[in-house]
Amino acid sequence: MNLDRTITLGDAPLGWRDLVAVARDGARLVLSPAAWARMANARAIVDCIVARDERAYGVSTGLGALSNVLLHGDQLAQLSKNTLLSHAVGVGPLLSVPQTRAILFAALANFAQGYSGLQPKVVDGLLALLNLEITPCVPSQGSVGYLSHMAHIGVTLLGVGDVQWQGRTLPAAEALAANGLQPLVLGAKDGLCLVNGTPCMTGLAALALADVERLADWADVISAMSFEALRGQIDAFDADILALKPHPGMQQVGRHLRSLLDGSEVVASSRGLRTQDALSIRSLPQIHGACRDQIAHAARQIDIELNSVTDNPLLLGSPQAYRVMSQANPHGESVAMAADLLRIAVAELGGVAERRIDRLVNPLVSGLPAFLVSEPGVNSGLMITQYTAASLAGENRRLAQPVVVDNFVTSGNQEDHVSLGTTAALDLHQSLLNLNQILAIEFLLAAQAFEFLKTQSFGRGTGRAWRLLREHVPAYHVDRFLAPDIAQTAELLRDPAALQGLLP
């Protein structure tokens, strides 16, 4: 737990960086008094509905295709418990701890709006899971938009299932008891609230944005090194030329590249070497910039969703004058499309990086020793790293296919259009893992190319990046076990602090 930072839900809009601070960095989460008051008001409306035996979807009726079945008395609490147990049907590998914590954060952000109606003690239980770092074991597969992931989180409050706590996996009931917590007894609507909305896809997509942003920065740094190693023509990055096509991302990448390459004797001595470069190095501002613009658009969509009310039904008004509104805010079309768009950007960043990798190892176009080794022939050098990059880039192309249009019918034709937003977000996480490896390979190769050019000075930023890598991975002289080099470089790229001082 990061005791130095506390994030407060309920008074002002939050962004995806706040979610990352809690989910990944361990910041403490609290809800404002105003948020608790809003939730208490909505719960009082639920209590009125129950006391008056009124018909309201999910409060006094069954769910989905069973929405016309009216329930009474003890059946309402039993419905909530049964909802969690019957919806906890996920399969496959578990989500990581930060991924599950991200979902928890997004769920609490939704509840803090005060339109859901679950008991405040349930919210208190979810907060305790986050702040005590008791993380439910949540299978990653099985969601067409929502439901199953949150159900696995919800059953933890009942003392059901397993959790990860203090570095080990143990029964939820045992972890609760060790922290002085009792399993909860749910009431009307609690179960539906816990499985509803878009926290799964929103939390996962918001968490991914930290990696997207970091890797977009690394793509600029590493591609500048490749540009320099391949003795690119710097006029392509001229500020006056780029200003004639004023996409914001393109201007940002242009500034990055000019700063990174500033002072490079290699670049200065290469002027006029060729009329123009291949597109994979000449059009870095255009390609990387377009990706940055799409990332910015997707981030806006995800931030809006993170601050939205996504439950169903919603409880408006006061116990004296209320409305119970059945609607479709839990539909995650916006987040699903944003995650699809991000995977396209990630695939493009990785795809063009693979093209640069190919040029670095190919002596026909690089002007460098074959496969970046001093004695090619007896040494294969870095030849096969391009194969790995091509494989990963190919996988990212497949993962870039839109998920949101691949639709299904569920719940007896009641839910006949689903977003598949959680799948879209999980695919995004896999795409980012692949991009991290592709850029690690390019970093290795560009740095190795620098070994053959170091009689001249490098750019202010590119030289610093080269020296940074050499603190972790030595130069390549003869063939050696390469997988650890890739792994070490990939780990370096995961460290946000490593970028400090490289970009303006």
Active site residues: 57
Distances (CA, A) of 345 to 77, 219, 248: 46, 12, 15
| Integer Cα distance of 477 and 461 in angstroms | 25
Instruction: Judge whether 460 and 357 are in contact, CB under 8 Å.
Output: no
Long-range contacts of 22-28 (CB under 8 A, 24+ apart): 22/101, 22/105, 22/130, 23/98, 23/99, 23/101, 23/102, 23/104, 23/105, 23/203, 23/207, 24/98, 24/101, 24/102, 24/207, 24/210, 26/1, 26/2, 26/133, 27/2, 28/1, 28/2, 28/3, 28/131
Instruction: Judge whether 306 and 266 are in contact, CB under 8 Å.
Output: no
Assigned token pair, 436? 């991290």
Assigned token pair, 94? 């578990």
Burial 436-457 (b: 16+ CB within 10 A, else e): bbbbbbbbbbbbbbbbebeeee
- Please count the residues of the chain: 504
Q: Please name the amino acid found at residue 221.
A: V
| Integer Cα distance of 353 and 350 in angstroms | 5
| Integer Cα distance of 421 and 260 in angstroms | 37
Q: For strand 27-31 and strand 2-9, is the pairing parallel, antiparallel, or unpaired? A: parallel
Looking at residue 410, the DSSP 8-state letter turns out to be: B
User: H helices of 307-420, where?
Assistant: 333-361, 363-366, 383-399
Assigned token pair, 19? 């979610």
Sign (positive or negative) of CA dihedral 492, 208, 138, 154: positive
